[in-house]
A and B are shown apart, each in its own frame.
Chain A
Amino acid sequence: MNTLLLALRNLLRNRRRSLTTLLAMVIGICAVLIFGGYARNATYALQTGYVQMHGHLQIQHSNYFLYGSGNPAAYGIANYPRIMDVVKQDPVLAPLLTVVTPKLQLGGIAGNFAAGVSKNVIASGIVVGEQNQLRTWDDYGSMSYSPQFALTGTSQESVIIGTGVARMLQLCGPLKVSNCPQAPVAPVSAERAAPDDITALSALEQRADALPANQTHIEMLAANVHGAPNVVNLNVVKAENWGFKEFDDTVMIMHLAQAQRLVFGGAPPQVTAIQIQLRHTSQMAAARARLEQLLATTFKDEPLEIQDFETLAPIYGQSIRFFDSVFGFIATLIGVIVLFTVGNTMSMAVVERTVEIGTLRAMGQRRSGIRALFMCEGLLLGLMGALLGVLTALLLAGLINHSGLTWTPPGYVYAYPLKVRVWGDLGLIGGSAIGLVLVAIVSAWWPANRAAKLMIVDALRHV
């Protein structure tokens, strides 16, 4: 009869109490694991979204991230085709890459002058096919529902705008945007609503072969590379919700060539970023190191720097820290509950078995043997609770994962399947299980120590 077997029999002596304690532990570890799995999935979903949007890394003009936003002329990358070629053909980087694509971001004013309204926008010029490829990245099996760009297969003057932009440009009706309140009709004429200089510029931009005006036709005014205003006619093919209102109220997506014509005209075209998407996020450090090497050697004369998606989207790190803090809070709460539950169970066991403790001590059992016996009972409770809890959590996670539920991460407008990533997360499972066992052992220590310190004669007299 070794100590562990004796401890097990002692636990089975009061089955109902042991089961109640186990139930508390199972519920506790399930809560920790399910939330941990949910948080992990949320993190993966967020990461997937940001990697689909920004790529893992971007090569930018130095200080563009800090000072260059909205000023593509001053912070553009002129040599971008060669840089992209070098990156794509680099023997170290090539196996890591999925997409390398240029992007030009610019600020301007979009106007629906037929309605007499205009709105400042942040436009992105993209290579549509490559951006669509960016959106297929799904390294974590999130089964992302991110749609392809509506610009696919459209003419160069086609653009997408945010629903907020559509609302302010009074294009919700023509673009069939649902849940879009109509602005009150302006009491003044369209000609008076628009500034005179903009109206004049718009008129100048009109060409004889311009597209026939229609309800989704807008003009875009931006400063060109020489600082002079430039205007293009654009056709809005779709208004999309971009999640964050501030973003949705300013976003415009257009073809890269169109954006470059608007900013650079006949001058050599530039971009503000080269987006690089890797096969796996875990390759980011290696890819970044190699890119920095290339920038320091091959492109040492060009003022370039590298930014990762975590820097470009600070909310990603903030979200992870938020989930971590909630997880820590839940785990601490559960730990305290388990601590007191097991401690209470063990304390009751010590009281009930006081005479038995005295008997064992009289027979020659050392204090350490008594302590070990009760600690073993705590250990067994912890082990059983952890095992049952992990199995239950895996079962629940499986049920949730196959439930077909979806969720929309903060700032997203398309849903991801709701998943609880417990299976395979050995860190989460192992950490939670070991944590539970340790808490059970710690909570058993105090009653065990009290039992070990009982005076034999007092214990034998106990009624």
Chain B
Amino acid sequence: MYTVILKNVHKIYQLGSVGVPALSDINLDIRPNCFTVISGPSGSGKTTLLNLIGCIDRPDQGEVIVAGQAIGQLSDDALSDFRARHLGFIFQNFNLLSVLSAYENVEYPLRLTQMPAAQRRARVLALLDAVGLADKANNRPGQLSGGQRQRVAIARALAPAPQLVLADEPTANLDSQTGAAIIALMRQMQREHQVSFVFSSHDPQVQAQADDAVFIRDGRITHVQRRVDSVEACA
């Protein structure tokens, strides 16, 4: 069972009266528990594809199935609830809430899933410990380095125990050493938490870690490279 299935997906952006195709005829299966990288030059459609997989955008044509759920049939609220329970996001700019501490940032998605307070606390502390920030729980993002912020973002993405984590250029704003550490941490977390990671990235370090690599150009998938070929191979 694939974590994500895209069938004949098309996405067109309207620029005034002109329709600009961002994705054309995308067919893609993302395997569970794999480290999947979407690569391609700027403007190729990586982020658009990631947005569709992350259920924060809808295709103009075709079908997107995530964690067994066809998202085209869901209302906006249902889709929000779906994202809260099944998806995690890591952003290039970390996108932590500046008014919340590291602890509160990680806790936020758990509040959306109505997790009981005691259970929530235990999970947040465990995740902060897992990303090496147990001692920074009360620090706000402004008091953390870039690498530390991205660690908090990783913990936040994993907090609701999602089936899929999406990361848009997660190392783009980090130096190579910190980026490598973050990639290693994400790889570790992906394995420990048995979760699928999908990246969009130019970073060779990220591509080197990938189980699967999806190459995209001009809105079309040119080829998919799988390190091993079985559906459950990554697990």
Contacts and interface: CB of A to CB of B under 8 A. Distances in A.
A363 B89 contact: yes
Interface string A1-41: 10000100110110000000000000000000000000000
Nearest to A368: B77
A455 to B, nearest CB: 8
A360 B105 CA distance: 11
A361 B108 CA distance: 12
Contacts of A12: 99
Given A364-B112, A365-B80, A457-B56, A1 B98 contact: no
A362 B93 CA distance: 14
B232 interface: no
B44 to A, nearest CB: 16
A456 B99 contact: no
A1 B83 contact: no
Interface string B62-82: 000000000000001100111
Contacts of A1: 100, 104, 107-108, 111
Nearest to A364: B84
A9 B100 contact: yes
Contacts of B108: 1, 360, 363
A189 to B, nearest CB: 95
B54 A362 contact: yes
Given A456-B56, A457-B51, A457-B57, A364 B85 contact: yes
Nearest to A459: B56
B76 A365 contact: no
Contacts of A355: 93, 95
Contacts of A368: 77
A6 B99 contact: yes
Given A6-B100, A359-B91, A364 B107 contact: no
- Categorize the interface residue count of chain B: 20 to 34
Interface on chain A toward B: helix, strand, loop, or mixed SS? helix
Nearest to B57: A457
B130 interface: no
Contacts, number: 70
Contacts of B100: 1, 6, 9
A366 B80 contact: yes
A356 B95 contact: yes
Contact of A364 (B57, B81, B99): B81
B51 A359 contact: no
A455 B76 CA distance: 11
Contacts of B112: 363-365, 369
Nearest to B86: A364
B80 A361 contact: yes
B56 to A, nearest CB: 4
A367 B83 contact: no
Contact of B109 (A13, A363, A457): A363
Contacts of A456: 51, 56-57
A10 B100 CA distance: 10
A350 to B, nearest CB: 15
B1 interface: no
A367 B111 CA distance: 16
Interface in A415-463: 455-457, 460
Given A13-B98, A460-B91, A362 B83 contact: yes
Given A1-B107, A457-B51, A364 B80 contact: yes
Contacts of B99: 6, 9-10, 12-13
A10 B82 CA distance: 27
A356 B99 CA distance: 11
B59 to A, nearest CB: 12
Nearest to A7: B99
Contacts of A6: 99-100
B56 A362 contact: yes
B231 interface: no
Contacts of A10: 99
Nearest to B80: A366
Contacts of A364: 80-85, 87, 109, 112-113, 160
A139 to B, nearest CB: 53
Contacts of B93: 355
B97 interface: yes
B184 to A, nearest CB: 24
Chain B CB within 10 A, most for which of A9, A355, A359: A359
A366 B81 CA distance: 8
A368 to B, nearest CB: 8
A293 B26 CA distance: 92
Contact of A363 (B57, B76, B83, B98): B83
Interface in A342-373: 355-356, 359-369
Nearest to B160: A364
A13 B99 CA distance: 7
Chain A CB within 10 A, most for which of B83, B97, B160: B97
Given A1-B107, A456-B57, A363 B91 contact: no
A368 B98 CA distance: 21
Contacts of B77: 366-368
Contacts of A13: 98-99
A120 to B, nearest CB: 79
B55 to A, nearest CB: 9
Contacts of A9: 99-100
Interface in B46-61: 51, 54, 56-57
A456 B42 CA distance: 21
A456 B54 CA distance: 11
A316 B158 CA distance: 72
Chain A CB within 10 A, most for which of B57, B80, B89: B80
Nearest to A11: B99
Contacts of B54: 362
Interface of B: 51, 54, 56-57, 76-77, 80-85, 87, 89, 91, 93, 95, 97-100, 104, 107-109, 111-113, 156, 160
5 contacts: A360-B97, A363-B83, A364-B87, A365-B84, A456-B56
Given A1-B104, A359-B91, A364-B82, 15 more contacts: A1-B100, A1-B111, A10-B99, A13-B98, A355-B93, A355-B95, A356-B98, A360-B108, A362-B83, A363-B89, A364-B80, A366-B80, A367-B76, A456-B56, A457-B57
Which 6 residue pairs across A and B have the least CB separation, nearest first? A364-B84, A9-B99, A456-B56, A359-B95, A364-B83, A366-B80
